[in-house]
Chain A
Amino acid sequence: MTAPALETRGLTLRYGGVTALESVDLVVRPHTIHALIGPNGAGKTSFINVCSGSASATAGTVSVGGRTRRARRPSDVARCGLARTFQNLQLFAEATVLENVLIGAEAQNGVGPLASLLGTPRARRSGRAAREAALAAIEFVGLAAERDHVAGALPYGKQRLLEIARALATDPAVVLLDEPGAGFNPQEKQELADLVRAIRDRGAAVLLVEHDMPLVMGVADRISVLNFGTLIAEGTPTEVANDPAVVDAYLGTDATEGLAS
């Protein structure tokens, strides 16, 4: 059996008195879309933060691609093949779409500042490759027409797509998407579902945090349900939808909300 793309064991995160995550064991397999759902405040963003290294766990371990990492900097985790987007967008707002994605594409290409300054042959080659990878990622999410637009001036939905393109440009093995469809209309959500499938089919595992239940049910291979920082269910969409604990804690309230929006 191949190593999980992402695996947590006993992952616990406390903010003072608030327990955001309580002993979470979760495995994201390669080439799967794994949805993480739960009501607001359940700890979904916290989970992404700990896995990506931007918050350090109170207890427990995270391993990416089978390698356990002690809590270090987010950049170290990214270099293990993990990429993420942010629920509250974190774009390079003054830069263009292409520049945003190029920064992602060249971040891990190993070209040092001096080599890039001198324009060594290797640096030029890597630069060209990064540019091509960036253009491909922009095309992939459907932003080719906005390539030279300033990121901060894009409509909200396109900013979300840009974050996905930038994350994909790092060529990750696992992508953590934090509510990528927030604020999307039904048609945009449909396109998002196709995009998430395409990411998986390209070979990356996806952890998808999303509120829209029909979207999640339609796209996810597996679903984990968080409630008050604890995993209360895990399984295929059908299993989860029929789990009484889930219906109690979550589907009864938020799903109808999700359907209505």
Chain B
Amino acid sequence: MMSPSMLLRSGGLVAVLAFAVAAPLMVSSRYDLGVLQLALINALLVLGFNFTVGFTRRLSLGHIGFFAIGAYASALLTTEHDASPLVAMAVGVLIASAAALVVSVLTNGLHAHYLTLATLGFGVIVQVVATNWIDLTGGSNGVLGIPVPTAFGIELVEPEQQYYLALALLAAGAALMARIRSTKLGRQAAALRQSERAAESLGIRTDRIKTLTLVLSAAYGAVAGSLYAHTYGYVAPDAFSFALMLTVLAMLVVGGPGTIAGPILGAVILTYLPEMARVGDEFWQLIYGVLLFVMVLWVPKGLAGLAQQAIALARRPPGRSASRPATEAVAR
């Protein structure tokens, strides 16, 4: 028997999925479909970012580095080595995970600010390598002629097909993340986020949690990067700049760190916003900056958190309500 809140949740999930499946039929131009595809790729990228910033609240700003590794692995393996896109994606995930492992071992002991700086460095290193290791990456000219993605041996030539591949990967990614959140690893990541000292004192090896979440975030980032490469057929270093890192951060913060719906929502909204008002990139950097500022100050749980609060307020569940500290606080 489903509880009302579960019914509401699964109802919402079905509605969102139905909408996502029908979306390509509702857009009129190929361009609009392209925006939809980008929204899904971004959503997967932000979802991965959620493993670190959302789950453990360790602000690791190297995420675009993993995205770039996934994109370049796909680009180079398919164009230079005749690998299939699927194999290339898998190799990209492995390389990104290995890189995450190394970054993690080096940064696990670092406290918040230092971690942020070090991982920021990692993102920069990847972009600089992509730009300057010309023999491998083609330098700032990038890699052209990346083949379309495949699924079950079929080449997905049509943008609609590619859209559904991205949707399937996103749905799988979201489902896996939801599962992780509700099992031991998810609880331990939440424990680490709320008090690393307490988590350690209980015997939780917090450095393993940090490593696992960073590797997971890198794997998601690499899948998003591979999708990106095969969808656009072209990668170049300037796609992996710090500006994208800022955008991804804004997407997560607007949507709601730590939730599953939030990162997806944030990615979709902030992919569409620039399309609705076509002005310069710098203007959007400004908007993202302002959004970050406003959300962190006044809506730290993001739109998803806001929605949860609204639902909770509307229905006030009797069991889980907070006890009232006021009277007893006076007593002590």
Contact = CB atoms under 8 A, between A and B. Distances in A.
Which 7 residue pairs across A and B have the least CB separation, nearest first? A153-B322, A78-B203, A155-B328, A90-B198, A74-B200, A116-B184, A113-B185
B179 interface: yes
Contact of A102 (B179, B187, B199, B200): B187
Nearest to A92: B194
A111 interface: yes
Contact of A108 (B179, B203, B206, B207): B203
Interface string A100-111: 001110111001
A184 interface: yes
Interface centre among B180, B183, B191 (most CB of A within 10 A): B183
Contacts of A230: none
A150 B320 CA distance: 7
Interface in B67-100: none
A155 B327 CA distance: 9
Interface in A98-141: 99, 102-104, 106-108, 111, 113, 116-117, 119, 123, 127
A146 B188 CA distance: 22
A83 interface: yes
Contact of B184 (A93, A104, A113, A183): A113
Interface residues of B, number: 34
Nearest to B195: A90
B331 A185 contact: yes
Contact of A117 (B179, B200, B321, B332): B179
A246 interface: no
A94 B200 contact: no
Contacts of A119: 183
A261 B179 CA distance: 50
A24 B328 CA distance: 39
A31 interface: no
Interface residues on A, range: 35 or more
B224 to A, nearest CB: 21
A91 B322 CA distance: 15
A79 interface: yes
A148 B179 CA distance: 21
Contact of A153 (B188, B197, B323, B332): B323
15 contacts: A75-B202, A75-B204, A78-B200, A83-B202, A91-B194, A95-B191, A102-B187, A103-B191, A103-B202, A106-B187, A107-B204, A155-B323, A156-B325, A158-B323, A170-B203
A96 interface: yes
Contact of A91 (B183, B195, B321, B324): B195
A252 to B, nearest CB: 27
Given A54-B197, A93-B194, A156-B328, 10 more contacts: A54-B201, A73-B207, A75-B201, A75-B204, A78-B200, A104-B202, A106-B184, A107-B203, A116-B184, A156-B332
A111 B184 contact: yes
Interface of A: 52-54, 73-75, 78-79, 83-84, 86, 90-96, 99, 102-104, 106-108, 111, 113, 116-117, 119, 123, 127, 146, 148-150, 153-158, 166-167, 170, 183-185
A123 B184 CA distance: 10
Nearest to B176: A117
Contacts of B206: 75
B275 to A, nearest CB: 36
A78 B191 CA distance: 16
A92 B332 contact: no
B4 interface: no
Nearest to B332: A183
B205 A103 contact: no
Contacts of A54: 197, 200-201
A146 to B, nearest CB: 6
A141 to B, nearest CB: 15
Contact of B323 (A84, A103, A146, A170): A146
B323 A154 contact: yes
B183 A117 contact: yes
Contact of A52 (B179, B201, B212): B201
Contacts of B194: 91-95
Nearest to B194: A92
A197 to B, nearest CB: 23
B26 interface: no
B329 interface: yes
Contacts of A123: 184
A146 B319 CA distance: 9
A167 B320 CA distance: 23
Contacts of A83: 201-202
Nearest to B319: A148
Given A102-B187, A103-B188, A104-B202, A155 B197 contact: no
Interface in B129-162: none
A185 B185 contact: no
A116 B319 CA distance: 27
B190 interface: yes
A78 B201 contact: yes
A150 B185 contact: no
Nearest to A159: B325
A155 B332 contact: yes
